[in-house]
Amino acid sequence: MLNEYINYLKSSTKEYSKCTLKAYEPNVSKFLQWLKERYNENDSYAITTLDIREYQGYLINIKKYAPAGVQQRIMSILSYCRFLYDKKYLKIDVTANFKLIQVQSKDTAPSAPSTNEINRFKREIYKKNNLRDIAIIEMFLNTGIRASELINLDIQDISISKRKGMVHVRQGKRKKFRDIPLNQDVREALNNYIKEVNPQNKLWIGQRGILTQDGINKMIKRYAKKVNLDTKIYPHAFRHYFATRLLRHKKIDIAIVSKLLGHFNLNTTQIYVKPTFEDLSDALDNLNI
């Protein structure tokens, strides 16, 4: 039944991101496993509203997940149950009037690595002189591109001349297309990599063929671990660093930053101008009582 549901999502006219699809399957699978252990129930046809409500309490009180994490897991289960109801596998719509846990908007900006931490990380990569890895990191740091966007780039998506360059993001979030200018650091890193590897179609080549997102994650973690930053450096942290640096340190107009990040509205970008948790801690550390 779960496989049928996942195939339905993949073929649905509604666009689901790869990250969404990757999360939905384990979320539903863990709920079904909990249902089996709790009530010895193996039948998806027997799911009730009470089961989902109890599982939501289990995630909050026993697993201690944050509200956003609980909401994401329950939304996966509700989606699965709607599928079962639409297919007539469930006789009752258990999702009707179900109340999700309320998630307040974040009051602090996402935590981003410091400039010192980024420099330590970059130095480790430049020491190894792996031209592909250097180009990837310079792309992350100087364009704010998402890992899912970067990994889908073709060689034709890169345009470079002596004085300017452009990356054409054709597979952005929700299929949104955007162009991002490339500064000198990225242009130089990309030119060096392309001259060495000469990719024909996909831009990023790994040891066993086309580089995957998992391959990028492992590469970044490997370098970060060597400088004891494996808990602070990861692909999306570069995006936080990029946005924070432009908005808070370079004082770039928020509309420009929003466009570069590929956000659909300014409210999403606005979070980066809020104080970080580190800002709040520093304020109290400097308080003389």
| Other C-beta atoms lying within 10 Å of the C-beta of residue 52 | 19
Contact (CB, 8 A) for 182 and 142: yes
Catalytic residue among 18, 36, 164, 236: 236
Catalytic annotation present for 272: yes
DSSP-derived pairing of the beta strands 178-181 and 205-206: unpaired
Whether 168 sits among the annotated catalytic residues: the reply is no
**Catalytic residue check, 236:** yes
Residue 175 is among the residues annotated as catalytic for this protein: no
Residue of 239, 240, 241, 245 with catalytic role: 239
Catalytic residue, candidates 170, 178, 263, 274: 263
Show the CA angle centred on residue 108, arms to residues 75 and 268, nearest 5°.
60
Catalytic status, residue 225 = no
Active site residue 173: yes
Among residues 168, 170, 173, 259, which one is catalytic? 173
> Which position among 146, 187, 240, 245 bears the catalytic label?
146
Q: What residues are annotated to the active site?
A: 146, 173, 236, 239, 263, 272
